[in-house]
């Protein structure tokens, strides 16, 4: 935990150090960049570059003079590092977070059992700095039943193989594990082959909000399409 006027000489992200400024924020209803500002400081004596963490405790975003914390030999910038540091857990802010929009769209609204052809949906993120272990809850309804009539195929980025590995799931909580820099999660809706002649069935998919992590794009937070399995 750090406080006003602290001089931090050993903050190191690679050692999983954490800047806990929760107690310095009075309200946490605004985007994180309205509470904190990084300012580079040149040390004329040593020629080193430090970062001054400046805090606006009310989240007004126009006066970052409520607390100042010096991080020696650390270079942080607002545009690059606020979201990244928060996503990695390197800063604790008592609920204040960067703005992160999540949206859902349909890229292929038809799925067929024979011939096998999956439908596709896409979850998009407004930033590529995503919280560790992020999950997206879905609401999946309709006449087709997940686990009986179809499954979801979700790609997970694997650092060891340097490739996406697809997993099949019948759960409505989707793990988000994207390649660094990617902002789109492409999910396939795969029919389960049962060789039973059935009428056209429907699936309705929508996202659930998780205010501690992201906000939904209201215009597309609910998607309704038909997915057909001809007999």
Contact 182, 127 (CB under 8 A): no
Q: Are residues 221 and 204 both part of a single domain?
A: yes
Strand partners, 27: none
pLDDT digits 0-9 by tens, 11-56: 999 999 999 999 999 988 999 999 999 999 999 989 999 999 999 9
Domain boundary among 92, 120, 153: 92
> What range does the domain containing 21 cover?
7-92
pLDDT band at 5 (very low <50, low <70, confident <90, very high): very high
pLDDT score recorded for residue 221: 40
- Residues in a beta bridge with 91: 19
What is the rounded CA–CA span in Å between residue 78 and residue 98?
11
Q: Among the three residues 75, 92, 109, which one is the final residue of a domain in this structure?
A: 92
User: In this structure, are 77 and 121 located in the same domain?
Assistant: no
The tokens for 173 are 């909580």
In this structure, how many other beta carbons lie within 10 angstroms of the beta carbon of residue 18?
16
CB 124 within 8 A of CB 147: no
Residue 136 and residue 62 share a domain: no
- Is residue 34 assigned to a domain? yes
Q: Looking at residues 85-90, what average pLDDT do you find?
A: 96
Here the CATH number for the domain that contains residue 135 is 2.60.40.10
CA distance 52 to 148: 56
Q: Does 109 lie in the same domain as 32? A: no
Whole-number average pLDDT of the chain: 89
pLDDT, position 229: 44
Do 130 and 215 belong together in one domain? Answer: yes
Question: Does 159 lie in the same domain as 73?
Answer: no
Phi-psi region of 76 (alpha: psi -120 to 50; beta: other; left: phi over 0): beta
146 and 217 belong to one structural domain: yes
Asked whether residue 1 is domain-assigned, the answer is no
User: Is residue 158 within 8 Å of residue 152, measured between CB atoms?
Assistant: no
Domain-located, residue 2: no
Q: Does the pLDDT of residue 131 top 80, yes or no?
A: yes
For residues 181 and 84, what is the distance between their CA atoms, to the nearest angstrom? 11
Backbone φ and ψ for 84, nearest 5 degrees, come out as: -65, -45
Same domain assignment for residues 50 and 135:
no
d(CA 165, CA 121): 17
pLDDT for position 194: 73
In percent, how much of the chain has pLDDT > 90?
69
pLDDT at residue number 197: 65
- Overall average pLDDT of the 111-118 stretch: 76
Same domain (yes/no): 86, 13: yes
How many domains does one find in the chain?
2
Q: Of 92, 118, 138, which residue is a domain's last?
A: 92
Q: Is residue 220 scored above 60 in pLDDT? A: no
């Amino acid at each position: 935990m750090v406080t006003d006027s602290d001089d931090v000489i050993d903050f190191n992200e690679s050692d999983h150090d954490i800047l806990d400024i929760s107690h310095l924020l009075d309200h946490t209803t605004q985007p994180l960049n309205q509470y904190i500002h990084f300012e580079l400081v040149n040390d004329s004596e040593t020629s080193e570059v430090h970062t001054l963490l400046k805090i606006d405790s009310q989240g007004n975003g126009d006066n970052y003079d409520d607390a100042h914390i010096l991080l020696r030999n650390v270079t942080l910038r607002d545009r690059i590092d606020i979201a990244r540091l928060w996503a990695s857990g390197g800063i604790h802010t008592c609920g204040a977070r960067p703005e992160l929009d999540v949206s859902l769209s349909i890229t292929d609204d038809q799925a067929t059992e024979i011939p096998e052809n999956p439908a596709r949906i896409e979850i998009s993120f407004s930033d590529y700095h995503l919280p560790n272990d992020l999950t997206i809850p879905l609401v999946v309804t309709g006449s087709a039943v997940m686990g009986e009539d179809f499954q979801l195929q979700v790609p997970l980025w694997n650092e060891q193989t340097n490739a996406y590995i697809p997993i099949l799931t019948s759960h409505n909580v989707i793990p988000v594990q994207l390649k660094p820099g990617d902002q789109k999660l492409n999910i396939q809706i795969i029919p389960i082959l049962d060789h039973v002649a059935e009428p056209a069935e429907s699936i309705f998919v929508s996202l659930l909000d998780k205010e501690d992590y992201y906000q939904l794009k209201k215009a597309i937070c609910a998607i309704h399409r038909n997915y057909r399995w001809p007999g």
